[in-house]
Amino acid sequence: MLACPGSGKTRVLAARAARLLSTNERGRLCAVTFTRDAADELKSRILAACGKSNAVRLAVGTFHSIALSQMRRNKNSGLGRLISDGERLSLIRRCWQQHAKRLPLESIVQAIDAAKSRLEWQPSEYPEIEAALQSYGEILQAEGSIDFADLMLQAVRDIQSKAMPPLSIRWLLVDEAQDMDAVQMEWVKAHADQGIEITLVGDDDQSLYSFRHAMGYEGLRHISEYLSSAVMSLPINYRCPENILRHANRLIAHNADRAPKNVEAFHKSPGVIDVIRLSDRWSEADLIASRIQAESEKAQWAILARTNNIIDKVEVAFADRNIPYRRMGGKSVWDKTVGSTLLGLLRSVGDGSWTGVANALYFAGMAPRLVNELSRIQGATCHERLDQIIAEYDHSTSPKSDETLLMSLHDGMHNWVDQDKRERQALVIHAVTAWLADRTTEENEALLRRLEGILCRLNGSLSARLMKAASRSKAVGKGAAIMTLHAAKGLEFSNVWILGAEEGNLPHSDSTPEEERRLFYVGMTRSKNRLIVSSAAKEGSASRYITESELKPCQN
């Protein structure tokens, strides 16, 4: 089933699954999608339509979770220990340091991902990368471990070699099928080969994961040929107002390789569209927050941007005004480097713990090796430890600049702790922020100042303020949803605001204009009512996609 956004693909998939289960007394059904949230949502929709009694014959999950339970059930497969993401990264780091230190670490991570998104091993053309890849594989094997990507690979190989039976199901349904990589596709094909009936639902125009080797249009073409499938389309969009859909279609028409589709809007009444240009990113974030604050709390908003960095500023602007928000599919600004360093150092002022001091030193430019060494020096509180470190400082082996840094943090700490005891919290927050702000980039400095403002406006002791700040982003259910464009796929909102629409950001310089165009298209087509697109002059000229989609600033 090949169809446009909002045409009811997921709805049809769920309805079909429910019908297959309720009209057939026998047979199990498996539905697969790409995120756990989407899987949970799909499962509850199917069961709502066919009754909970069918739950025993239904499995819904991501490719990885389904393959994992498939492998676990099968004793012959000798499934290794699944390593965590953190373990994986430190293992990759070791292989990189040994074999390919001259190249960026990221190139090894990417090479491993790429190698494991295919069934056949393709040696890298760079001997260093190949050596790192080989050693990564050998270490995993020696330790009897596997990583997430191995799971799918091994499942396909085991089914193909008959070491493992395919899932014992009658029907297999896949949502967002344009995002399958070659290995996932082989897994589907291996099940089709056993006579299992396959339903794929997808939209090549919403393929956003070529950087994770999703096969997009090519893939959908290949598999539907392989399955000799009947291709159906859903020509009506039930989500977007007619004018928003029209602009979105103008945009996506600029992509060359795509499936031909007719798309028509069910809702003929026009939605509100606006295009806004501001001076800089903070003005953009502040305008969003103040506009939404002025509206009824019932208005459902999604704020979408290309990167989490841009999203951080929106989060700060919301927190600043005490407007509820939900940060979806990404870390809160308080959990990232700048936010967590500020909160950590303030925590150390309050409770004398060392971690916040160590992170602040690293943030301020001290070499990680030295920070780690310092962390071994004992002391009851961080103040005692700083005293000790300065007393023992070895001028022959360690640079003067680090000593100056230590001295200034040492003096600062004494001062801040003293002020905190006199309950001058705002003063402490101001001074700690200034210490960090003096030692970082201009961009981080601006962010620090805003976080300072939020903390100063809260009430109570330092620890109470830190708790309040850090817990706010975790409030669920209420407020505007703030997320990246990638995270918004599959979702819909009454009002959508896409910010950061500048050349360099959208299209982003890391990707292709076609893939970025799909991303913008996905963003536009999330809207059920209103679409606002904004950009900041300081960040670059307005995105070509605004021109291509023929979006214009509001007349009134």
Ligand X SMILES: Nc1ncnc2c1ncn2[C@@H]1O[C@H](COP(=O)(O)OP(=O)(O)O)[C@@H](O)[C@H]1O
Site residues (vs ligand X, CB under 6 A): 3, 5-11, 238-239, 492
The listed partner (ligand X, Mg ion, none) that binds 238, CB under 5 to 8 Å by sort, is ligand X
CA dist., res. 376 & res. 262, Å (int): 66
Spatial CA neighbour of 542 closest among 501, 495, 514 = 501
Answer for the pair 189, 164: CB distance below 8 angstroms, yes or no.
no
Of 88 and 239, the one with the shorter C-beta distance to ligand X is: 239
Nearer to ligand X, 8 or 219 (CB): 8
12 and 201 in contact (C-beta within 8 Å)? yes
Under 8 Å between Cβ of 497 and 532 = yes
Closer of 3 and 437 to ligand X (Cβ) = 3
Out of Mg ion, ligand X, none, what residue 445 binds, judged by CB under 5 to 8 A for its kind, is none
Q: Which does 11 bind (CB under 5 to 8 A by kind): ligand X, Mg ion, none?
A: ligand X
Orientation of helix 355-363 relative to helix 382-391, angle to 10°: 50
Residues in 466-495 that interact with Mg ion by CB under 5 A? 490
Q: Which is nearer to ligand X, 100 or 208 (CB)?
A: 208
Name the one range near Mg ion by CB under 5 A: 10-18, 245-253, 321-329, 379-387.
10-18
Indicate the DSSP class of residue 222.
Answer: H
Distance between CA 11 and CA 175 in Å, rounded?
10
Binding to Mg ion in span 61-120, by CB under 5 A: none
Find all residues with CB under 8 Å of 99, minimum gap 6, and list them: 128, 131, 132, 135
- The item of Mg ion, ligand X, none sharing an interface with residue 6, based on CB under 5 to 8 Å by kind, is ligand X
**Cβ-closest residue to ligand X?**
8
The nearer residue to ligand X, 3 or 92, going by C-beta atoms, is 3
Structure letter (DSSP) for residue 49:
H
CB of 134 vs Mg ion, minimal distance in Å = 40
Indicate the residue among 7 and 473 with the shorter CB distance to ligand X: 7
Closest separation in Å from C-beta 372 to ligand X: 49
Question: What are the CA-CA distances from residue 322 to residues 286, 423, 451 (Å)?
Answer: 12, 24, 13
The residue from 7, 10, 308, 348 that contacts Mg ion (CB under 5 A) is 10
Nearer to Mg ion, 201 or 389 (CB): 201
Helix (H) or strand (E) run with residue 192 in it: helix 182-192
Round to whole Å and give the CA distance between 218 and 200.
14
Distance CA 190, CA 214 (A): 18
Specify whether the backbone of 398 is left (phi greater than 0), alpha (psi in -120 to 50) or beta.
beta
Q: Which does 5 bind (CB under 5 to 8 A by kind): ligand X, Mg ion, none?
A: ligand X
Q: Nearest distance from residue 238's CB to ligand X, in Å?
A: 3
Q: Based on CB atoms, which residue is closest to ligand X, 9 or 281?
A: 9
From 7-15, 56-64, 129-137, 235-243, span contacting Mg ion (CB under 5 A):
7-15
In terms of CB distance, is 9 or 43 closer to Mg ion? Answer: 9
Partner interacting with residue 206 (select from Mg ion, ligand X, none; CB below 5-8 Å by kind)? none
Q: Is 5 in the site for Mg ion (CB under 5 A)?
A: no
Question: Segment near Mg ion (CB under 5 A), from 6-14, 180-188, 354-362, 476-484?
Answer: 6-14
Least distance between ligand X and beta carbon 5 (Å):
5
Count CB atoms within 10 A of the CB of residue 27: 14
Output the smallest distance, CB 47 to ligand X, in A: 16
The answer to whether 9 and 175 are in contact (CB under 8 A) is: yes
Q: Which residues pair with 233 in a beta bridge?
A: 2
Block residue for tokens 């090894």: 108
Burial (CB count within 10 angstroms: exposed 0-12, middle 13-18, buried 19+), residue 269: exposed
Residues within the interface to Mg ion (CB under 5 A): 9-10, 490
